[in-house]
Structures are given as structure tokens and as C-alpha cells.
Amino acid sequence: MYKLRFLSTNVKGYQNFNRELKGLITKTKTINSEIEFKKFINAILKIVNNQKFKFANSKKFREEIDLISKNEVLVEQTPWGGVTLKKVDVEKDYIQKLLIIKNNGVLGFEIHNEKLEKLKIIEGIFLVLYVSHKKDKNVINLKIGTTNSKFTFYPKDEHGIIALTNGIIQETSTNHLDDLVYTFKYAI
């Protein structure tokens, strides 16, 4: 069972979103199953769609989404957009890729057993969901991230993302390519 906690933000123009999200969290209280997770995410997406967030697509976003649509080398297409691999150094145990996420894109709530993952928002606005097992292993924190926001997820820290706008997230991680388990999947 996971409790929910919204870590408020002072992002200008998001007061209505913050208020509605806090209300949803108060109403939902806990998530105990994948079905409850999907209902919660769908309710968030409904709030997002009512807000009509504005964020201009950059040239970089358009270029990366074009690479993904052409199925270029070192690219993976996903329901939420796609991944473009940028740097790999096996000796240094280092991988860097870009997550190109379309508006309303949802990355499932996942966990890595060995992988250390650092995210930096390059552009866009996202709602990041995460559990920090070092602090409170039964609480899903929800936090709005904007350009230059950073998140670090240690092995066993569940995490997921909801795109409030189109955007790009840089992921830098250790070289554990097959280290992915879903706590809760989300399919459109």
C-alpha cells in the first residue's frame, strides 16, 4: 500500500493544477493495485487536459521526435514518444539518453534493482512520481518538474513520469539495460 504526498511547487501559473491535484490526492489517499494506479493517473490526465498548459515545442523536440518516427538507429519508439541513445561508455558504466515525451505521455511506475538513474529536465513540464526508499518506502511523492529540475533515483526507488507538456528529459544512468521491473504499468 502506498500513501500519496504532493510536494507543492511555486511554479508560476500552476495554482489551479496544484489545488486540483491536492484535492485528488486527499480523495484517493492510497494506491493498492495497478487498477487503482491507472484510475489515479487517468484522473490526473483529466486535470491536465482541463488546464491547457502552454509550452512551445523547441527545434530540438521536433528533431528528436522526427528521428523517433523514422525509426533511426539507436532509437526506440514508445507509446509516450521515444528514447534516443546519445552516449555509451561501458568501461565507465555510463549511459546517456534522451526521453522524448509527448504531452499526456505516461511512463509507468518502475523500479530498478541495480541501476542508478539521474534525470534532468531539458525542456517541458512534468509531474514526477517517486518513492524514496531511504526516506519513506510507502509514500509516492508527486512533484512538478520544469526546465533544469533534477531527480536522482537509487536502486529500488520506484518512479514514473506524466508529461504536462511536450518535453525532453536527459537520463544518465549506470549500464544496466535490462534492469527494469514495473510496479504498476500504464497503457493508453
Mean pLDDT of 147-161: 95
**Domain containing 129: what range?**
2-177
Asked if 154 and 116 count as a contact pair (C-beta separation under 8 A), the reply is yes
Residue 168 domain-assigned? yes
Residue 184 domain-assigned? no
Residue 183 domain-assigned? no
Q: In what order do the strands lie in the sheet with 117-123?
A: 75-78, 81-89, 94-101, 167-173, 117-123, 150-153
Contacts of 11 (CB under 8 A, 6+ apart): 125, 144, 146
pLDDT band, very low/low/confident/very high, at 188 (cuts 50, 70, 90): low
Residue 146 domain-assigned? yes
Q: Which three cell numbers stand for residue 21?
A: 491535484
Helical residues (DSSP H) of 10-157, grouped into ranges: 15-28, 34-51, 59-69
Domain count, the chain: 1
Residue 187 domain-assigned? no
Check which CATH number belongs to the domain holding 154 and give it: 2.60.120.10
pLDDT band, very low/low/confident/very high, at 132 (cuts 50, 70, 90): confident
At 30-48, the pLDDT tens digits run: 999 999 999 999 999 999 9
Question: Judging by DSSP bridges, how do beta strands 167-173 and 94-101 pair with one another?
Answer: antiparallel
Average pLDDT value over all residues in the chain: 90
Residue 188 domain-assigned? no
Residue 186 domain-assigned? no
